[in-house]
């Protein structure tokens, strides 16, 4: 059976529209299911653990140092939580990983607090 160019183009266009309409999985979800995603989740848990240690140290300190260490521990905990929560992407959570990360304002506030301590 011979296929003309026109028929071939039509076939290709039909396949392309079918492919475009399929539900595509995000690259992040695909990564989260693999070995790399598992490694990132484990690292996130370690980062959360480090945040807990920083918070414990903050309880010993006083004044601005205490406040700054609390802010650091909160910031680090959010980063660790976002990374360790990578697996929840597969479970269909509505919250995205980007939403669980600390904000730019939190980073700026943390930077200012550290700069005040350095003076």
> What is the residue extent of each domain of the chain?
5-118
Nearest to 50 by CA among 76, 29, 25: 76
Average pLDDT over residues 94-110: 86
**Confidence (pLDDT) at 93:** 54
Which pLDDT value is given to residue 118? 92
| 23-41: average pLDDT | 85
Q: What is the mean pLDDT of residues 67-89?
A: 90
Least reliable range by pLDDT among 7-16, 39-48, 68-77, 91-100? 91-100
Q: What are phi and psi of 91, to 5 degrees?
A: -85, 0
Q: How confident is the model at residue 91 (pLDDT cuts 50, 70, 90)?
A: low
* Average pLDDT of span 55-79: 95
Q: Report the chain's mean pLDDT, rounded to a whole number.
A: 87
Range 5-39 burial, b when 16+ CB lie within 10 A, else e: eeeeeeeeeeeeeeeeeeeeeeeeeeebeeeebee
The token pair at 31 is 């990564």
């Amino acid at each position: 059976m011979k296929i003309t160019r026109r028929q071939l183009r039509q076939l290709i266009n039909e396949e392309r529209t079918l492919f475009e309409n399929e539900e595509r999985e995000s690259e992040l979800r695909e990564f989260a299911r693999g070995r790399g995603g598992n490694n990132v989740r484990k690292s996130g848990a370690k980062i959360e653990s480090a945040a807990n240690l920083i918070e414990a140290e903050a309880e010993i300190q006083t004044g601005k140092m205490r406040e700054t260490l609390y802010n650091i521990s909160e910031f680090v905990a959010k980063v660790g939580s976002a990374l360790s929560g990578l697996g929840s992407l597969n479970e269909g959570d509505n919250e995205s990983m980007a939403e669980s990360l600390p904000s730019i304002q939190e980073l700026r506030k943390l930077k200012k607090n550290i700069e005040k301590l350095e003076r």
